[in-house]
Structure 1
Amino acid sequence: MIKGYKVSCKNEDMDLSVIHGFISRSYWASGIPLDIMSKAIENSLCFGVFLDSGEQVGFARMITDKSTFAYLADVFILQEHQGKGLSKWLMKTIIEHPQLQGLRRMALATSDAHGLYEKFGFKALANPQTFMELWVPDVYVKA
């Protein structure tokens, strides 16, 4: 725990305006429409970091079948709350969540936070030649 903050896994606690405000300006989902972000939250196991007052300051979601696989996405802590250990606390909460135990694989993609995720056991793909993707990086850009 970090004094003055709490973590919730209740989707009804998530502040869509805060989450969309950050994610829609991120390098990984720039321009994501509000309705798409809402649907993504609705269909994921979400983790929010909140001030004790209820204001959301961080977020992450796991896309998972809760049995064999999970993909970690959309992780952020608002800039004014960074440097307090919140991202490490959030990751610890995610890794220890009861619905994420016994999974065969957890995956994620990041351009800038390898050091954080390595602290929780994430590594570069052991067999990258076995992974494939269908990637549409400009899916949210209107033609």
Structure 2
Amino acid sequence: MEYEIDDSPARIQRDVVWRWLSSEAYWGRWRERSVLEAQLDAAWRVVGAYRADTGEQIGFARAASDGASFAYLADVFVVAEHQGAGVAHRILRRMIDEGPGHDFRWTLFTRDAHSLYAEFGFETPDETAMVRRASPSKR
């Protein structure tokens, strides 16, 4: 199957993103639809993956940034039927390597896909990194 990777915010199918993040994601299920909408509106960049034949969105990533030196990668997913076809790799390449933040310091929080993120230079933080965890209702 062929896929298109696009960083146009106008092409994001918000219902698809909401449906996946509110039912499939292990993170952020506390969000209400209005919170996700605000995050999408405020995103520095979004990247979507789409079936070339139908235009259906099958993957997504969002980033927040200061636009100068730092970016936070969030909400990366590929729907189950399309996993294993290199779609996540293509989404990340467009988001990180091919975008305006290719030289930024990037961060993300994840409990899986570590080897995929390592391909893009992500590694375990060193002594210069600290994290303030969210309240229990926002984890």
The gaps in structure 1 that reach 5 residues or longer are none
Mapping 1:1-143, distance limit 5 Å: 4-25=2-23, 26-44=25-43, 45-52=45-52, 53-103=54-104, 105-127=105-127, 130-139=129-138
**Percent identity over paired residues:** 29
Q: Secondary structure at the match of 1:100?
A: coil
Unpaired runs of at least 5, structure 2: none
Q: What TM-score does the superposition give when structure 2 sets the normalisation length?
A: 0.90
Report SS of the residue matched to 2:100.
Answer: helix
Which ranges of 4 or more aligned residues in structure 1 deviate by more than 4 Å? none
Give the aligned residue type for 1:110.
Answer: T
| Distance in 1 of aligned mates of 2:51 and 2:116 | 22
**Separation in structure 1 between the aligned mates of residue 66 and residue 20 of structure 2, nearest angstrom:** 26
1:67, 1:102 within 8 Å by CA — same for their partners in 2?
no
Residues matched between the structures, number: 136
Q: SS of the counterpart of 2:111?
A: coil
